[in-house]
Amino acid sequence: MFKKYFIIVVVSAVMGTLVYARTSLSPGERQDLIEEVESVILAVTSSAPVATSTTAITKKIEQPVPFTSQAPLAQWKDRQFQDGCEEASALMAVAWARGAKLGGPDSVTADILKMIAFETNSPSGYSPDVSANDTAEIIKNYFNYSNVSVRENVTSDDLISELHNGHVIITPVNGRLLNNPNFTAPGPLYHMLVIIGYNPATKEFITNDPGTRNGAKYRYPVSTFMAALRDYPSGHHEEIEENIKRIIVVSK
């Protein structure tokens, strides 16, 4: 697709050049220009990058992202940790991006509380649920890490392409649609996790899901995951007015 649009741009520029040549140059100058333009077109059409089709991906993709649950000391009854999936997801993704390891349960607990304190002191204040856009801003401002972007209206092919390009993905989801037996029933409506890989043989996303202590490299069928993928507003269980498939891409 990139190659197609790139060539269209080049051809448009060439057509403009030829119109100029027809009206402004002598016959000899026009011929020289035409030959030069032909060489440029040949170079572009032979070297423009081609996007990799996800159907061509046959090997498993998996990034070595360190794992933590959102309740490292099993503090599941504490509201801060019940709602700590966004903080835990950001911690995992940024640690991977920086080539760092996460500390032990006490250390990660302290890290999550520091993030919550940072959010509390920010102009917008602390929200138990943090949207994709706001989570990306926390990554930029708290961690001082800028290799992060937000995409919306994504498809499964978009996610697989990002993984194939060596990125990891933080995703907000409706946790109840994930059908994870490790969740306390019926599961979280407002949840966030990290996609760390993809297995084309089983058509599963490989995730670090902080919503369970068993969430390291937890696999979800692509169809199940895409049905659950949707952003939510920052706040406390605010009404979700739009079903937007929005993701946070974290790059090294």
- Which helix (DSSP H) or strand (DSSP E) does residue 225 occupy? helix 222-228
Side chain identity at residue 15, one-letter code = M
Residue 42: the pLDDT is 39
Q: 230-252 burial string, b = 16+ CB within 10 Å, else e?
A: bbbbbeeeeeeeeebbbbbbbee
Where the chain has pLDDT below 50, the residues are 1-22, 28, 31-35, 37-52
Q: Which of 160, 118, 141, 180 is nearest to 249 (CA)?
A: 160
Indicate the DSSP class of residue 122: S
Which residues in 29-174 belong to E strands, given as ranges?
Answer: 61-62, 148-152, 168-173
Find all residues with CB under 8 Å of 178, minimum gap 6, and list them: 187, 191, 220, 224, 225, 228
Check if CATH label 3.40.50.2000 holds for domain 56-250.
no
d(CA 115, CA 134): 13
Residue 23: the pLDDT is 54
d(CA 192, CA 198): 18
Residue 58: the pLDDT is 87
* Helix (DSSP H) and strand (DSSP E) numbers for the chain: 8, 7
Q: In this structure, what token pair is assigned to residue 198? A: 């993809």
CB of 86 within 8 A of CB of 142? no
The total number of residues shown for the chain amounts to 252
- Which helix (DSSP H) or strand (DSSP E) does residue 132 occupy? helix 132-142
Residue 54: the pLDDT is 63
Residue 125: the pLDDT is 86
